[in-house]
Amino acid sequence: MTIHTELLNQLRQIVGAPNVLTEGDLEAYELDWRRRERGRSLAVVRPGSTEEVAAVVRACVVAKVSMVPQGGNTGMVVGSTPDASGTQVLLSLQRMNRVRKLDAGNLTITVDAGCVLQNIQDACEKDGFLFPLSLASEGSCTIGGNLGTNAGGTQVVRYGNTRELCLGLEVVTAQGDIWNGLTGLRKDNTGYDLRHLFIGSEGTLGVITAATMKLYPMPVSQLTAFAAVPSMEAAVELLGLAHRFLSSGLTGFEVMGQFALSLVAKHYPQQRVPFWQETPWCVVLENSDNESETHARECLERLLEAAMEQGCVTDAVVAESMAQAKALWHIRESIPLAQADEGLNIKHDISIGVSRIPEFVRLTDAALTKAFPGARLVTYGHLGDGNLHYNVQAPASDDAARFLNEEEAPINALVFEFVDQFNGSISAEHGIGSLKVEKLEHHKSPVALSLMRNIKLALDPHNLMNPGRVIRL
Ligand code: FAD
Ligand code: MLT
Ligand code: ZN
């Protein structure tokens, strides 16, 4: 019996034969969301409990077989699919999808790692609470994946990234031990905060099996406005005003370039996209209020009046109902889908100090369009957090696959050169995965890289947890 056959038999004993998939259509597990790389796994293993995850990890360690944790497989950087070797175990957390406990007094919810984000939001809303993490992929991404990537999304300006929302983790270590850190404590200075090592580690240090997350009272009112702005400078000016007028009520502030919106109008003609033909940029922003809807509306209207007086908004609509608000947000959330429909593309998920974003966009746009005539810039993102999705689509007349093959490297080099000049980050919220490993090596300091390697070696000395992703040894 080969070592792999023996391991597969053990895995079947641990999780049950129907939960060890080795044949049939495994594309959903082996192809990444952006369709950039198709991997092959030794098996897709679907444990149903923390103890089963631990036993799977121990069996893989003995067999020296590496593992790739996976949640909803919506990641943007090819980090959750196996490599092409056919020797890795794909560890899917999807069966671990229980809400363990909602503690109303402590304002926390404890959930299995495979819980789909939207199901967590719904469970909280049912009891009158808000779980504010919000991404367009929320119908399929999991909290384990959100923690693994330290996902951002559209509410970070008020509530922070996934890291800020996490009060405790349960983790299966790379040795197969179970660490229960589900304390739910808001204060705990008892040495190194291990939770923060695993958050954002993209499955390279251990497997997150459960988490305790912060809740907030559901706001009385959430009002959305969609505004036409004449320039990126004006968008940043509007953000300043929004902070002033709305204070902590400002829960979302997203910018969308004209070409990005044109893709939504083209691929989803049923959606009515306001203003996009008349203005280079639009902003969608949200005001959450704990007083009353009237108060929320007054604050928002005062903000828009001031913005129009100052000239940083040329036109605006405020949603009259929840359905209208959802429709306006849906436009923003449809951009990545419309971009995928348009064809293969180059993504840059960058962050820059908010005040310097207009200058960054002006200089980088000019350099890119000069060096790559016809390249179409799909710029949008979380301006409130200084995070832009500064994406590049092939010229309309070009073959997208050829463009990607030949131009991705020089385009990345150009964009990241500007990001470095502006002291920005080459990955604001999507992570490193395998797509950006080399870039990380280029852009991070040798001291930082060495510290990261030491952490990896200390926690996963045999390099079996998602090897080759994030940091190479
Ligand atoms: P996966 O894709 O399965 O995995 C992502 C990484 O986490 C992999 O490295 C994987 O190994 C690791 N991982 C998964 N589960 C675990 C676990 N239990 N323990 C340890 N490691 C684990 N991201 C944003 O940040 N902001 C956005 O606004 C946003 N919008 C998106 C919109 C769309 C339409 C799509 C398709 C994606 C979007 N994303 C966004 C990217 C993606 O949804 C997030 O990165 C999300 O957090 C991934 O969750 P997942 O469950 O799909 O993880
Ligand atoms: C978004 O903000 O829409 C996402 O991060 C997805 C993407 O950039 O494609
Ligand atoms: Zn984003």
pLDDT digit string, tens, across residues 43-85: 999 999 999 999 999 999 999 999 999 999 999 999 999 999 9
**Ligand 2 nearest atom to the CA of residue 381, by list position:** 2
Band (pLDDT 50/70/90 cuts) for residue 1 is: low
CA–centroid distance, 10 to ligand 3, in Å, is 40
- Ligand 1 site-directed mutation target among 34, 41, 73, 74, most atoms within 8 Å of CB: 74
pLDDT confidence tier of residue 439, bands split at 50, 70 and 90: very high
d(CA 263, CA 332): 11
Ligand 1 within 6 A of 88 CB?
A: no
State in Å: Cα 76 to ligand 3 middle: 10
Displacement of CA 182 from its chain's centroid (Å): 23
Report whether residue 203 contacts ligand 1, using a CB cutoff of 6 Å.
yes
Distance CA 278, CA 286 (A): 22
Q: In the chain, where are the structural domains located? A: 3-92, 99-217, 221-421
**CATH node for 221-421:** 3.30.70.2190
User: How far is residue 284's CA from residue 153's CA, in Å, rounded to a whole number?
Assistant: 14
The Cα 422–Cα 363 span in angstroms is 11
Residue type, 295: H
User: What's the predicted TM-score (pTM) here?
Assistant: 0.97
Which tokens hold the place of 330?
A: 């849906």
In this prediction, residue 2 has a pLDDT band, given cuts at 50, 70 and 90, of confident
Give the mean pLDDT of 321-346: 95
Which H or E run contains 292?
none
In whole angstroms, give the CA distance from residue 72 to residue 80.
Answer: 9
Which CATH number applies to 99-217: 3.30.390.50, 3.10.129.10, 3.30.465.10, 3.30.70.20? Answer: 3.30.465.10
389, 392, 429, 435: which to mutate for ligand 2, most atoms within 8 A of CB? 389
69 Cβ inside 6 Å of ligand 1 = yes
User: Which ligand approaches the C-alpha of residue 256 most closely?
Assistant: 2
The answer, yes or no, to whether residue 108 has pLDDT greater than 70, is yes
Q: What is the model's pLDDT at position 197?
A: 98
Q: Which CATH number fits domain 3-92: 3.30.420.10, 3.40.50.300, 3.30.43.10, 1.10.540.10?
A: 3.30.43.10
- Average pLDDT, integer, range 317-332: 95
- The closest-lying atom of ligand 1 relative to the alpha carbon of residue 202 is 9
- Say yes or no to pLDDT of 250 above 80: yes
Atom number of ligand 1 nearest to Cα 429: 25
Task: Indicate which atom in ligand 2 lies nearest the CA of residue 154.
Answer: 2
> What confidence tens digit (pLDDT) does each residue in 156-205 have?
999 999 999 999 999 999 999 999 999 999 999 999 999 999 999 999 99
Distance CA 132, CA 386 (A): 19
Helix (H, G, I), strand (E, B) or coil at 466: coil
Average pLDDT, rounded, for the chain? 97
- Stretch (H or E) spanning 317: strand 315-318
